[in-house]
Amino acid sequence: MKMREIKRNTRVFLDRKTSAITVRVRWNNSKNETCFCIGSKWNPEKWDPIVQRPKINTSCYGVTYKDICNKIANMLDLIENSFVDFQEEEYIPSNSELKSKVLAGMDSIECSDSPVDINALFTSFLNEMSEDRNWKPDSHKKYLALWNNIQK
């Protein structure tokens, strides 16, 4: 049995008033529309509206380009999976039904409640950034000196 496809349009954009990254979904010939905030803000000057993503190799408010792209991808996957479920039921959801299903999917993502070792986290940060940004040994030493001063 072939399931009925729900045609939809998904767009990622930056809310100019709040700087929040938002995913808008329209379906049912644009009769239905709902938005999801991915939980991060971004500087409008570092946003590429053509590709609907942050500009490559930028960071903002302590969040990297890579983190934002992962959050966007996760949200798009949750939305897609929700529509697949509705298609299997051959049912066109209302705004609130889609929102509830996506938010329920977000709740099912496991979060680690284990304590974080700040030293291990900083060491991981140093190693990743050294590789990603091709830091010279002097840059690495400066961050280590900074870290040692913070710990005093």
Span 76-105, pLDDT tens digits: 999 999 998 888 888 889 989 998 888 888
Task: Look at residue 112 in the predicted model and tell me its pLDDT.
Answer: 44
Task: Look at residue 110 in the predicted model and tell me its pLDDT.
Answer: 47
Task: Look at residue 26 in the predicted model and tell me its pLDDT.
Answer: 94
Residue 99: Cβ-neighbour burial (10 angstroms; 0-12, 13-18, 19+): middle
Task: Look at residue 10 in the predicted model and tell me its pLDDT.
Answer: 92
Task: Look at residue 125 in the predicted model and tell me its pLDDT.
Answer: 78
The parts of the chain modelled with pLDDT lower than 50 are 110-113
Residue 102: Cβ-neighbour burial (10 angstroms; 0-12, 13-18, 19+): buried
Task: Look at residue 78 in the predicted model and tell me its pLDDT.
Answer: 92
Task: Look at residue 73 in the predicted model and tell me its pLDDT.
Answer: 92
Task: Look at residue 2 in the predicted model and tell me its pLDDT.
Answer: 57
Query: Distance between CA atoms of 7 and 86, rounded to whole angstroms?
Result: 12
Query: Distance between CA atoms of 146 and 2, rounded to whole angstroms?
Result: 61
